[in-house]
Structures are given as structure tokens and as C-alpha cells.
Structure 1
Amino acid sequence: MAYGVVGAVSLALLGLTACGGEDPAPAAPRAGDSAAANPTTSEKVEVLDEVTVQRIQYPTEDADPEQNWADLYLPAGEQRVDSIPLVVLIHGGAWQSQLGAQIFEPLARDLAGRGMAVYNVEYRRVGSGGGWPTTFRDVANALDHVVAVDRRFPQLTTDDELVVGHSAGAQLAVWGGTRHKLEDDEVGSRPAFRPTRVVSLAGPLDMVYAATHGDDRIVKVLGGTPKQVPDRYTSVDPIQNIDPDTPVIAIHGTADRMVSPENSRRYVAAVQKKGGEAKAVLIPNGDHGSVVTSTAPEYPKVLDIITDASAADIDDVDDVQG
């Protein structure tokens, strides 16, 4: 079984790379600065003519500069302080090195085209220095670095933000939204940045169920089966780390043969049983890759759902379909 955008994504998409440089764009003044205090006379608000991309290196243990980075997409238009909502993207690929953050380039640009800032995370995976616990530590540190990114780019809002993940990245995204519940000695505990809403795209949100139903990729990234390393599953399995106060939308294609839609159904039912807010959106005939493929008929609906979730409103999202 494999994750990520596979046959549904063209070779051209897989070949895309993010652009940008190390130096940040000039930051807009924060409230309280002399310029911001009298905006009618002295404030100069930066205006971008087009979507721009900045490469951000985030700190993590034994960092690899070729993999420990995120691309920050800034939308065109005025860059006023605390005016642009941030969406974090975490790509899939079975926690393995074959697919990277470049597969989310089209989605990142489309979201930026809708007025959002996008933080597209790369991280080490199995086959490129990742696995347990490195992959999970990298993603946790990339999320926590949002605090520093906000200082460099004060036009971002980071107090009530959305994380979106696909496939393995969906597991990491949902886990990222509940890290505040971890014990101090667990990987990723004591987060500096906590997303308040999550969108899962074809995610293995019940890792024990998936691992015991033929998903050897989970066994590989965690270094064992649920019986062999139960504490690791307990720590990172989304269904075992539910926060009823963190709304989750679980999108899944009904024709997904790589990650069973049952993962989303089981997770949403468990959240609702705990009194939390979660919705499953099952897309008829959608497969594992089509939910994130810009040329697929399902893609506009996915884009709309992410846009609605970014606005802190999941009530308008359709419930289970098909």
C-alpha cells in the first residue's frame, strides 16, 4: 500500500519545484510602531503585485538544509499587519522520500490566489534520514517555527489557523493539532504553535486499524506493529489523541484503494462520540490522488472546503456524501 499523489498526478506536477530565496520580503509595521500609530500620515503598506514565495529554513535536531524547510507563499495585494490568514500544508507520500513538498505547489498557489498565506512544509522521511522519531520531530519543529515566521512577516495571522495534510501528511496534520495533549517526554510535546482547525485529505486517521489491515507503510515509519511498539501508536495515532475542541474535516474519496475511507469514518465517529466537532466528506468516485490533483473534477470542491475552513467556519461544509 502506498500514499501520496501517485498515478493521478502527472509527471509534470511531480517535477515542479518551489521558488524563492532566503531573504524575507520587507515586513509591514506592527501595531504600536511609530508608523502604525498614525497610518493616515506615515504608514507605508507593502503591496505585492503577484504571489511571492520565500524559502524558510526551520531549526530541528541535526537539520538537513535540503529537507528541513518550508516555502511561504504570500498572496498579492496589501500586506497589512495581522491581515492575512495562514494555512499550513503537510504533504503525503507514505512518510517516505519518493514524494516531497513540491507536489503541493499547485494547491499552495491556488490558496494564495484566494488571499491566504501558505506555509508548505518539507521534512525528512523514510529513505532520506527520517522515520521514527525524526519525521515527527521535524514536523513538530516546522509547526513551532511559525512563531518566528510571524515575527518576520507580521502581515500573517497565527492565532486561529488551519493545517491541511494529505495522506501521511494528514496523519501528521491531525496529530499536530493535538500535540498540546502529549506528555512532556513525548515527541512533539509542548507546542509553541497549535493549529485550531485541521483538514485531512485521505488520511490514515486510525493507524492501528490501518496497520492491522495491511498497511505496512505505517509499520515501517513507526518501526513496528501496534503490538511491537504500542507506545508509539498511542503517541501519534490521531484517533487515540482526539481533542474535542479542535474541529476536523476528513475528506476522502470513496474509490480510494490506498487508504480506506473507513479511516475517516472511524475517526469522525470517535470525535463526535467525545462531543467534538468533526465532519466526513466522502467524494463519490474520488481516489487517493484525485482529492489533491488540480486537474481532477474533485479538486474545486476540496479547494472550497479548505477556503471555508480557513475562515473558521466548518458548519457550511457538506456532510458525508455518497
Structure 2
Amino acid sequence: MPKGFRLRIVYGPHPSQFGEFSTPTGESFPVVVVIHGGFWHQRYGLELGRPLAADLVAHGVAAYNIEYRRLTGGGGWPATGADVLAALDALDPALGPVVTLGHSAGGHLAVWAAARHPRVAGAVAQAGVLDFLRHPAITRRAAELLGGTPDEVPDRYADASPAAQLPIDKPMVLVHGEDDEDVPFEQSEAFARASGADLVALPATDHMALITPGTAAWAACRTAALTLAHRTQP
């Protein structure tokens, strides 16, 4: 495989079933899968992940920035989760294990994929949505993805919520701003207690700082991803 390029990988017939795979120069490199957030809604796309992917590549790892079907665009559950697994299946097996990195709803998918896909060696959640039942505002958002309340579709909550997948026997790092206005910090705090994942608490940090290159918050996320990714190398 040539080094230092970006390849579009199509993993299904829907327009949202593709990913952008970018590599650094060099002979070997670990792979970080970037999963964007946006509460699973169609109005947010993988353009959110492109600056992160570019920065990861600049730091010596390959980045696989994936798109997936979202609400009002053919998504919902289980289609959205199935797309993440299919995107992982489409990546060249010769590249070896991968680490997932996801923000907000993408953090949900990053950790969920770690629980479900054998190729995922570890996960970094950036202000991840990790427990669909712990906070009413998160439960309302999850109901949109899952197509009903916990009483109406309990099997979907059991299938989709990362908290319901525990134990997950893979390294996980949860990076979360203490001043997050969209996803409560306690989502990561409680999940770390329950799972044994590493928690990186960022004082005076909001939701979007974690996906803004040049901030200390993004640097913390990048460091976590690079550390886990390099562990996957022989």
C-alpha cells in the first residue's frame, strides 16, 4: 500500500457508507478510526473528523475517518451501529488492529465498537455518550436513535448502550471536559468507575474543545489515541 495518501473506502451502497483512509509516510504505522459525533443526526458529518484525522496523520499514524447512516438519513438502530462494524470490516486486514476515537455520539460508537468488534484493540471516548439511562437528557436523545423509550424498546437499549456492554476487556480512555454543556461530565466519571477505564478530566473545558486542534483538550485526546495505537504495533 502506498504511503502518504488519502483513499475513499466504500463499504455499502448508501451514500453515507464510506470512510476516508489517510496515511503518513513511512513503512509501518498504527491505525486510529475517527468517529464523528452530532447526536447521530444527518446534519453532522465526517467533515467534523477531517481536522482530527489530518492532525493524527501529522503525528505518524494512519487515520480512518468514517461516515455512517444517521437519523433522517437512513440511520437509527441497529443500522447506525451496523455501519460502524461494516466500516471496520472494509479496512484492509493486513493493517492489523485499530484504535477507535470518537466524540460525543461518536464516543458512544467508539466504545460500543470496542465491545463488539474483535479488531478494535482499544478506544478513546471524547465526551462520550456512554450510558443511555443515567441522565434524562441523554435518554431523550437516545430515544431518537433507538426509536422508542427504554420501556418501549428495552432490547435496543441493552444492545446499544455502552454501559450495558460491560465488562469490556480492552483499554479505554475517557477524556471529558468538566464544563461540558452537552454531555454531562458524569457520563464519563460513572463509566470509568464501572469499567476501570482511564478518566482524563479537563477543568474549564467545554464540549467542542475536544475536537478543536490547537487546544489542550484535543492534545489530550490525541495523546490518548496515539498511546493506545502504538500499543497495537508488534
CA distance in 1: counterparts of 2:46 and 2:31, whole angstroms: 17
CA distance in 2: counterparts of 1:172 and 1:251, whole angstroms: 15
Alignment coverage as a number of residue pairs? 232
Q: Judging changes above 3 Å, is the alpha-carbon distance between structure 1 residues 55 and 206 closer, same or farther for their aligned structure 2 residues?
A: same
1:166 to 95, 98, 103: 103
CA distance in 1: counterparts of 2:37 and 2:175, whole angstroms: 14
Deviation of the 1:165 alpha carbon: 0.8
Q: Secondary structure at the match of 1:209?
A: coil
1:255 to 167, 179, 199: 179
Deviation of the 1:312 alpha carbon: 2.4
What's the counterpart of residue 287 of structure 1? 206
Aligned partner of 2:100: which letter? V
Deviation of the 1:131 alpha carbon: 1.0
Residues 1:197 and 2:122 are matched in the alignment: yes
1:102 to 47, 51, 58: 47
Contact 1:257-1:287 within 8 A present in 2 as well: yes
RMSD (Å) for aligned C-alpha atoms = 1.7
What's the counterpart of residue 224 of structure 1? 148
What's the counterpart of residue 234 of structure 1? 158
CA distance in 2: counterparts of 1:296 and 1:203, whole angstroms: 18
Deviation of the 1:299 alpha carbon: 2.1
CA distance in 1: counterparts of 2:71 and 2:88, whole angstroms: 20
CA distance in 2: counterparts of 1:57 and 1:271, whole angstroms: 34
What's the counterpart of residue 24 of structure 1? none
Give aligned-pair identity as a percent: 35
What's the counterpart of residue 11 of structure 2? 58
TM-score normalised according to structure 2 size: 0.93
CA distance in 1: counterparts of 2:147 and 2:67, whole angstroms: 21
TM-score normalised according to structure 1 size: 0.68
Stretches of structure 2 lacking an aligned partner (at least 5 in a row): none
Q: How does 1:126-145 map to 2 (within 5 A)?
A: 126-145=71-90
CA distance in 2: counterparts of 1:213 and 1:92, whole angstroms: 16
Residues 1:177 and 2:122 are matched in the alignment: no
Residues 1:87 and 2:32 are matched in the alignment: yes
Aligned partner of 1:241: which letter? Q
What's the counterpart of residue 167 of structure 2? 243
Q: Secondary structure at the match of 2:225?
A: helix
Higher Rg: 1
Stretches of 4+ aligned residues off by more than 4 angstroms: none
Q: Which stretch of structure 1 is more off in the superposition, 243-252 or 258-267? A: 243-252
Aligned partner of 1:196: which letter? A
Deviation of the 1:300 alpha carbon: 2.0
Stretches of structure 1 lacking an aligned partner (at least 5 in a row): 1-26, 28-45, 180-190, 273-277, 314-322
Aligned partner of 2:16: which letter? Q
CA distance in 2: counterparts of 1:296 and 1:195, whole angstroms: 27
Deviation of the 1:230 alpha carbon: 0.8
1:268 to 192, 196, 201: 192
What's the counterpart of residue 115 of structure 1? 60
What's the counterpart of residue 220 of structure 2? 301
